[in-house]
């Protein structure tokens, strides 16, 4: 491509006198996720006072709200990527319940090895996510509507299939089936247990009567959260696919006219979102040892809210994966903090709604700043 | 005889019941600047969208270097070395100048399963190419939405020139440009021709067309209204054919001067 360049004489470089110095602090404020980052800190400071002495910041307290954040983060990150690409997936919550069922029923009732059941559930979920995306592209209907249909279809399927095949809507006994399985702990297990035993011995963290630590290890879902967030951030900020995602959501027509495979990008993101939803569904089943058809209720809205709080524009083209993590953190801290502070937990909804409103207004402001529109 | 770079034969384009093109033939040769002229709605943009792979013609043949083009998407056209500045520019306002410059043609290296963008190189090229067209970038990471209309046009042109290996298509590229940038674009067209590329140049400004054009095709209501080589037609002839000519003459009389 170099040789196709025009070799006219370029004027010598000079500093543009119209260029005001931008310092790193201003640059930081231009990022989509900076607001949510500040929000996390403020919220922590707030609860440090409001929930003082409640154990919220003891090891098990931290684990408690981090766990809530991690579960949401696993799905809010792909939801953010999809939103940046200009689409929504309202079937995230239903997919969590559905994938859990699809792993539990074969494992418990059909006697499949658990690892086979897990792979089956993943394959089915990703295929359905792909179909969701394919229908959005093919019909050119808003993904809002198509995935809303999937929300009902998948939730209905989870309930109907579990009743039809097992006469129950809660499948327990997965832990018994998963004993000794090599794949189940990858989603439902814990790591770093010896560290916590050591900390307990050193009296750095609380223990039960028998001396075992209150926190026995780091649940795998947290590890998955970190992995998903790191990969998503890297893809978005540094790779060609990331460029495609921004372009698809920023102006799909312009992107298409320059050869960006917009349809493929969106379908891949729908499949990836389904994959992450299934990951959460399967992790819950393996962790709790049971599947329930109503798991993941409202998670699609929580994921979208976390993405928006994290600075992603509802209209697409702008946002961040790290922001979606901050959004999930804010969610976990506020929800559990209100519990630790011993307030009526209905306040959480009020807080969430108000925060969403503030975030949307703030995002619009940032977008105006970035694009220079007035 | 040299094979033409691009040859379109009897192209028809229908949008539902709207007939945008009703049988147009068009050739572009190596080292030729071919100006497409015509009134609003004549079908100029539709024709170049077919040439650049955005639309498939309803009927007709489209050959690139003598072979059936068979473009399924603009990407195929770009791969064949045909780069286009569309009338609406094809820029994404929320994205940075660099990301826009390389959109769809990202410079990458492999890192495991990922195509990692070479941002340092991309920033440098974007800055250099923009300086060459006469725009000093403040910051290549600046969002395109913050650029002025003319700066955006320059970005789209610089991008197409950079990637157009064989054919450069410009759809009214100078409509928002200042004097210095316009003459820079005309000089560009001249330079590009000198390297053997073909250029399709759409403009409403007959003077600009006459300044750089080797061949002229005038469209009117989806048909070819006239074809000329350089020197075969005067500015007045072209203006007359562009359907606006008669009205312009009347207007000049009315206003008691020249337009
Ligand atoms: N996607 C479309 N659907 C329906 N009609 C279309 C479409 N694109 C173009 N047309 C029609 O085709 C005709 C030619 O349009 P085109 O954009 O090619 O004109 P043009 O010569 O580029 O005009 P201008 O000088 O104003 O840019 C117009 O009447 C337009 O309304
Ligand atoms: Mg046009």
Total number of domains constituting chain A: 1
In this prediction, residue B153 carries a pLDDT of 86
Say if residues A58 and A349 touch (Cβ distance below 8 Å). Answer: no
Q: What residue numbers bound the domain in which A320 lies?
A: 25-371
In this prediction, residue B174 carries a pLDDT of 83
CA distance B216 to B221: 16
By three-state DSSP, how is residue B218 classified?
strand
Residues of B in contact with A251 (CB under 8 A): 91-93
Count of CB atoms within 10 A of residue B22's CB?
16
Residue found under tokens 């020197």: B231
Whether the pLDDT of residue A271 is over 90: the answer is yes
CA distance A35 to A43: 12
B117–A16: do the CB atoms touch at under 8 Å? no
Query: Higher confidence at residue A26 or residue A281?
Result: A281
Determine the average pLDDT of the residues in A19-26: 62
Strand order in the sheet with B198-202: B82-85, B167-171, B198-202, B33-38, B215-220, B223-229
Confidence of residue A2 (pLDDT cuts 50, 70, 90): very low
Confidence of residue A279 (pLDDT cuts 50, 70, 90): very high
Whether the pLDDT of residue A22 is over 80: the answer is no
Ligand 1: atom nearest CA of B49 is: 18
Say if residues B83 and B167 touch (Cβ distance below 8 Å). Answer: yes
Confidence of residue A4 (pLDDT cuts 50, 70, 90): very low
Determine the average pLDDT of the residues in A299-308: 95
In-domain check, residue A104? yes
Whether the pLDDT of residue A147 is over 50: the answer is yes
In-domain check, residue A32? yes
Whether the pLDDT of residue B259 is over 80: the answer is no
Confidence (pTM): 0.89
In-domain check, residue A310? yes
CATH number of the domain bearing residue A298: 1.10.3470
CA distance B170 to B166: 13
In this prediction, residue A12 carries a pLDDT of 46
* pLDDT digit string, tens, across residues B85-109: 988 888 999 999 999 999 999 999 9
In this prediction, residue B13 carries a pLDDT of 94
In-domain check, residue A2? no
Backbone angles phi, psi at A357, to 5 degrees: -60, -45
Residue found under tokens 């990703």: A126
Distance from CA of A351 to the nearest CA of B (A): 30
In-domain check, residue A294? yes
Q: What percent of chain A has pLDDT over 90?
A: 72
Confidence of residue B250 (pLDDT cuts 50, 70, 90): low
Residue closest via CA to ligand 1's atom 6 equals B15
Dig out the tokens for A228 from the structure.
């998903």
Question: Across the interface, which of A4, A234, A317 has its CB nearest the CB of B165?
Answer: A4
CA distance A93 to A294: 9
Determine the average pLDDT of the residues in A326-332: 95
Pocket lining for ligand 1, CB < 6 angstroms: B 15, 18, 20, 38, 40-46, 87
In-domain check, residue A159? yes
CA distance A148 to A160: 18
Backbone angles phi, psi at A202, to 5 degrees: -80, 5
Taken as a whole, chain A contains a residue count of 374
Q: Kindly list the structural domains of chain B, giving each domain's residue range(s) and its CATH number in brackets, ordered by start.
A: 6-49+58-92+149-255 (3.40.50.300), 95-142 (no CATH)
ipTM: 0.86
Question: Across the interface, which of A235, A243, A257 has its CB nearest the CB of B54?
Answer: A257
Query: Higher confidence at residue A60 or residue B252?
Result: A60
Instruction: Report CA-CA distances (Å) from A338 to A18, A346, A348, B77, B250.
Output: 49, 9, 7, 58, 78
Confidence of residue A270 (pLDDT cuts 50, 70, 90): very high
* pLDDT digit string, tens, across residues A72-122: 999 999 999 999 999 999 999 999 999 999 999 999 999 999 999 999 999
DSSP string, B149-174: HHHHHHHHHHHHHHH-SSEEEEESTT
In this prediction, residue A1 carries a pLDDT of 40
Residue closest via CA to ligand 1's atom 5 equals B15
In-domain check, residue A178? yes
In-domain check, residue A217? yes
């Amino acid at each position: 491509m170099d040789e196709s360049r025009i070799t006219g004489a370029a004027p010598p470089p000079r500093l543009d006198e119209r260029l005001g110095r931008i310092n790193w602090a201003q640059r930081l404020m231009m990022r989509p996720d900076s607001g949510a980052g500040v929000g996390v800190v403020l919220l922590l400071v707030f609860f440090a006072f409001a929930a003082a002495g409640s154990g919220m910041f003891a090891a098990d307290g931290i684990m408690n709200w981090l766990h809530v954040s991690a579960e949401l983060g696993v799905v809010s990150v792909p939801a953010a990527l999809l939103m940046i690409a200009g689409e929504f997936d309202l079937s995230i919550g239903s997919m969590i319940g559905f994938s859990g069922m699809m792993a539990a029923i074969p494992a418990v009732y059909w006697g499949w090895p658990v690892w086979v059941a897990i792979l089956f559930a993943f394959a089915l979920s990703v295929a359905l996510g792909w179909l969701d995306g394919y229908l959005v592209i093919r019909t050119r209907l808003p993904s809002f509507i198509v995935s809303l249909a999937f929300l009902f279809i998948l939730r209905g399927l989870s309930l109907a299939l579990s009743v039809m095949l097992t006469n129950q809507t809660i499948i327990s006994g997965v832990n018994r089936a998963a004993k000794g399985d090599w794949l189940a702990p990858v989603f439902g297990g814990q790591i770093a247990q010896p560290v916590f035993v050591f900390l307990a011995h050193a009296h750095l963290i609380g223990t039960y009567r028998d001396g075992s630590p209150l926190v026995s290890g780091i649940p795998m879902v947290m590890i998955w959260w970190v992995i998903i967030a790191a990969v998503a951030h890297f893809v978005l900020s540094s790779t060609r696919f990331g460029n495609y995602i921004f372009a698809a959501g920023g102006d799909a027509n312009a992107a298409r006219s320059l050869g960006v495979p917009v349809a493929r990008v969106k379908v891949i993101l729908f499949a990836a979102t389904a994959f992450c939803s299934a990951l959460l569904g399967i992790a819950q089943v393996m962790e709790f040892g049971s599947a329930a058809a109503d798991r993941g209720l409202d998670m699609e809205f929580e994921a979208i809210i976390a993405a928006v709080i994290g600075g992603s524009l509802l209209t697409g083209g702008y946002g961040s994966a790290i922001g979606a993590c901050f959004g999930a953190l804010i969610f976990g801290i506020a929800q559990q903090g209100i519990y630790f502070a011993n307030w009526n937990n209905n306040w959480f909804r009020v807080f969430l709604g108000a925060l969403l409103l503030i975030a949307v207004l703030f995002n619009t402001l940032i977008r105006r700043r970035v694009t220079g529109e007035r | 005889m040299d094979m033409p770079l691009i040859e379109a034969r009897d192209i028809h384009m229908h949008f539902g019941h709207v007939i945008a093109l009703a049988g147009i033939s068009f050739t572009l040769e190596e080292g030729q600047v071919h100006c497409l002229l015509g009134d609003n709605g004549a079908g100029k943009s539709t024709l170049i969208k077919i040439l650049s792979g955005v639309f498939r013609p309803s009927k007709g043949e489209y050959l690139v270097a003598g072979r059936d083009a068979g473009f399924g998407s603009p990407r195929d056209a770009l791969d064949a070395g045909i780069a286009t500045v569309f009338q609406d520019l094809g820029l994404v306002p929320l994205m940075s100048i660099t990301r826009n410059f390389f959109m769809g043609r990202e410079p990458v290296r492999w890192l495991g399963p990922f195509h990692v963008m070479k941002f340092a190189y991309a920033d440098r090229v974007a800055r250099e190419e923009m300086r060459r067209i006469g725009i000093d970038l403040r910051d290549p990471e600046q969002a395109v939405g913050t650029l002025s209309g003319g700066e955006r046009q320059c970005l789209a042109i610089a991008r197409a020139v950079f990637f157009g290996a064989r054919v450069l298509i410009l759809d009214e590229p100078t409509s928002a440009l200042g004097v210095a940038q316009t003459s820079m674009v005309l000089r560009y067209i001249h330079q590009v021709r000198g390297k053997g590329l073909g250029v399709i140049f759409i403009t409403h400004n007959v003077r600009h067309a006459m300044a750089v054009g080797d061949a002229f095709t005038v469209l009117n209501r989806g048909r070819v209204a006239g074809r000329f080589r350089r020197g075969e037609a005067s500015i007045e002839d072209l203006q007359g054919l562009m359907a606006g000519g008669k009205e312009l003459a009347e207007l000049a009389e009315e206003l008691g001067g020249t337009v």
